[in-house]
Structure 1
Amino acid sequence: MSENIALTRPASSGMALKRLRSYGWLLLPLLVLTTLFFYPLLLIVQQALHDESGQIGFSSFWQVLESRRFVSALLDTVQIALFTTLGCLTLGSVMSLILVFIPFTGSRLIGLVIDTFIALPTFLITLAFTFIYGSAGLINGGLMTFFDFDLPPVNFLYSMWGVILAEITVFTPLVMRPLMAALRQIDRSQLEAASVLGARPLRVIAQVIFPAALPALLAGGSLCLLLSTNEFGIVLFIGAKGVNTLPMMVYSKAILESDYIAACAIAVVNILLSIGLFMLYRLVVSRAGVRSSSC
């Protein structure tokens, strides 16, 4: 009996050492995350909850949130994000259906070109838009030359719609990649059976293709919503008049006005908005996955 107890003690101590070693591997990732993410985030929240005298309080925080400039920036951010996501879903769905179900010469090349947009920085697309639709761009230059206009007739680029169009161009491939992968997995026999039974193309898309592609649409659309909510470079590079988003307001408050308390308060709101959208995305995608698997 004493020999069994003596044998079990080293075994239990060995298991404890193995557990400590397994947990020890987590120290380095936790240290990196704490240094690069949690500690700066804590500093932002701490700065946002301090007033100008250095005391903890919500007076400065609520003063920023109640300002007309913040409300306008929040509305612009939400409006740009929603219209961008809707445009990406519409354009990405149409192009994905064409490239997957209507093969033509050069479709593979077009798919590769679309994939390269993901690797390009956003300011290149914005720069291309400036060369084409800008005040001194190709379209305005040609129209002013041929029709002798005094002012550029095409001026939508420097408005909210110019920002939305540029973001749709940048983020549409993020919808197309998962959507095209999902469309290629659809059994073609289901489409043939639906067409044999007399279903029209729109009905086939609505009742056969759309349910199968719904998780991919939700994944790509939610990613576009998150990225367009936090987009900074496109709005800054275009310089749209009267358009002020939350990231732009953080930049202007911190860099141009040196108001770090207001900048941190707006950053906290932007972080909470992003986390809320991400949690909503996870909830919707999980439910869509359950429904699609049950069907």
Structure 2
Amino acid sequence: MTRRLLWAAPPVALLALFFLYPLGLVVEQSLKPDTGGVSLQPYADVLASEPFREALWTTVWLALAATAGCLVLGFLLALVIAFVPFPGARAVARFVDVFLSFPSFLITLALLFIYGTVGMANGLWTDATGAAEGPFQFLTTPWGVLLAEITYFTPFVMRPLLAAFAQLDTAQLEAAGSLGARAPRIVRRIILPEALPALAAGGSLVLVLCLNEFGIVLFTGAKGVTTLPTLVYSKAILESDYPGACVVAVVNVLISVGLYGLYRVVSRRAGA
């Protein structure tokens, strides 16, 4: 027992130093108003403020909508890759793994090149019609943020789905097809039940990631879209309200930890 404790002490100490200690400093700062002392007043002020409520609502609905979009799109794309034979299907499946390593701002920049104010789509429109500007002006709105998040996070749903589909017994599909079952019924009665654990695991992960996404909101230039991470940035950097920024950060961490706990439970059940 003593030897085990000695082996466990260094990693626990490193964890406490590099992760728990900074988090403890954030919590400590959130309890110290500018007037001095220790108080819950920063929490009362922030939680009662309209900007916080709007940021919380924006964060939640964007995360839920992006997760729903990723689940639908990821399921359809994974179905095609796994069950519709076409040249290069294996290469596409491997590219999904590579895509997971891309930074979120890279995808956002790509969307700006396509749908930005001076992007390709607007350029083609103005060249064809002679209009002063193109019709695609949505990237700086919540819908642009939503599109970028769905584009970036869909592979996080596809990866566990492809793994689940690889383990699916194809004999069931062949038997159902020989008995006259059409593709929609096979998907609904055989494939979807097997995919539910992977969908739940991927959806939980995407929900956590969307809740904490900062780069996409920043690079889309959506100035009217304020989420909890951007509110932390605004309070700390622009307003120098460090107690308020720490309060928002603590709330964001609590929500994230709760959702991460859900993700871990679902992942264990799914075997992901």
Aligned match of 1:49 = 31
The yes-or-no answer on 1:197 pairing with 2:179 is yes
Write the mapping of 1:171-182 to structure 2, written as runs, cut at 5 A. Answer: 171-182=153-164
Aligned residue type for 1:150:
A
- Mapped partners of 2:9, 2:171: distance in 1: 52
Distance (Å, rounded) in 1 between the aligned partners of 2:270 and 2:135: 48
Say whether 1:69 aligns with 2:59.
Answer: no
TM-score by length of 1: 0.88
User: 1:236 Cα deviation (Å)?
Assistant: 0.6
**2:198 and 2:270 in contact (8 A); partners too:** no
CA shift for structure 1 position 284 = 4.2
Shift of 1:253: 0.7
Q: Does 2:263 align with 1:278?
A: no
CA distance in 1 between partners of 2:71 and 2:202 (Å): 8
Q: What is the correspondence of 1:214-293 to structure 2 with a 5 Å cutoff?
A: 214-285=196-267, 289=270
Distance 2:138 2:96 in 1: 25
TM-superposition CA deviations, 1:154-205 (whole Å, max 9, x none)? 1111111111111111111111111101101111111122223333322221
Matched, 1:184 2:166: yes
TM-score (norm. length: structure 2)? 0.95
Any idea what SS the aligned residue of 1:156 has?
coil
Flag the structure with larger Rg.
1
Q: SS in structure 1 opposite 2:240?
A: coil
Q: Is contact 2:201–2:266 with CA below 8 Å preserved after alignment?
A: no
Q: Secondary structure at the match of 2:100?
A: helix
Look up the match of 1:4: none
Q: How many residues align?
A: 271
Distance, in Å, in 2 between the alignment partners of 1:245 and 1:152 is: 28
Q: 1:83: Cα distance to partner? A: 1.0
Aligned-partner Cα distance in 2 for 1:205–1:230: 33
Cα RMSD between the aligned structures?
Answer: 1.5
Q: Distance in 2 between matches of 1:84 and 1:155?
A: 20
Matched position secondary structure for 1:215: helix
Is 1:121 aligned to residue 117 of structure 2?
A: no
Fraction of identical pairs, as percent: 51
Deviation at 1:70, TM superposition (A): 0.5
Structure 2 match to 1:29: 11
SS at the partner of 1:76?
helix
Counterpart amino acid of 1:225? L
**Residues of 2 paired with 1:145 and 1:50: CA distance?**
58
| Residue 282 of structure 1, CA deviation | 3.4
Which structure 1 residue ranges, 5 or more long, are not aligned? 1-18, 291-295
Query: Displacement, 1:285?
Result: 4.7
1:279 CA displacement: 2.1
Instruction: Specify which of 67, 86, 97 is matched with residue 104 of structure 1.
Output: 86
Contact 2:82 2:166 in 1 (8 A): yes
Worse-superposed segment, 46-55 or 259-268: 46-55
Partners of 1:151 and 1:188 lie apart in 2 by: 52
Task: Select between 195-204 and 30-39 the one with higher mean Cα deviation.
Answer: 195-204
